[in-house]
A and B are shown apart, each in its own frame.
Chain A
Amino acid sequence: MSEVTIIDSGGANLASLEIAFRRLGATTQITDSPQEVTRARRVVLPGVGAATPCMKRLYRSGLAALLPTLAQPVLGVCLGMQLFYQYSEEGPTSCLGLLPQTVRGLAPAPGRPIPHMGWNTLHHLQSDPLLEGVREGEYVYFVHSYGAPVSTFTIATAQYGLPLSAVVRRNNFWGTQFHPERSGSTGVQILKNFLRL
């Protein structure tokens, strides 16, 4: 059995996530089969692009109903994390409903172009196995135009105009708004931590 099962959400970052896990010596598979996902040791929900087509894809494959019922560790990356929420303004579309809030569009402002694209720092880190060895102020790589508000599920924040959820957790579901697969050694640390869950 593969150590990491990556859901084929149709996005363009499948390859970079898979390569990143393989670089750490993990075996991987990419699938959209509910049977495979049910059996998976760990699940990664990537996502690049827009929320609506991604949700449509999850409904078509039957994964939209399955994902919230999973008990193994699940990591949502970028749009994958946003899909954990109740609702996204992007579309708009309803999402998986694991987290009660709404994902909203980031507001452009002088000196703050949208998308929020580039390296930014992590703050307000909570003690969590996914963030083991990651310190306040470390840089990670963000690319997004929508964001999730800070809530009780937030275990790290980032500041882009308003504070945003950079890492969230609810039970066995973890999400990162940034791309750990493109975040240098800090990202590597987070992916390693995920492989230990």
Chain B
Amino acid sequence: MKTKSLPLAGALLLAGCGLQPVQPWQREDLARPEMAWERGLVEEGAIRSHTYQSKEAAIGGPALGGGGCGCN
């Protein structure tokens, strides 16, 4: 039950219920490089995802991966 309510709580949070809209001139901190979704240089996220996916059963995330195996 607790697990099932998590996505709903997350959706409500993202919908911004009860939050003051953030104005464009207030977004300086959001534009800082430290805040990027993907950290690191030269597709660091891609090779890290590939490494985990080739050693673990799970895949998936908000991005498309490339094909291929490299999985011995």
Q: Do A and B come from one complex?
A: no
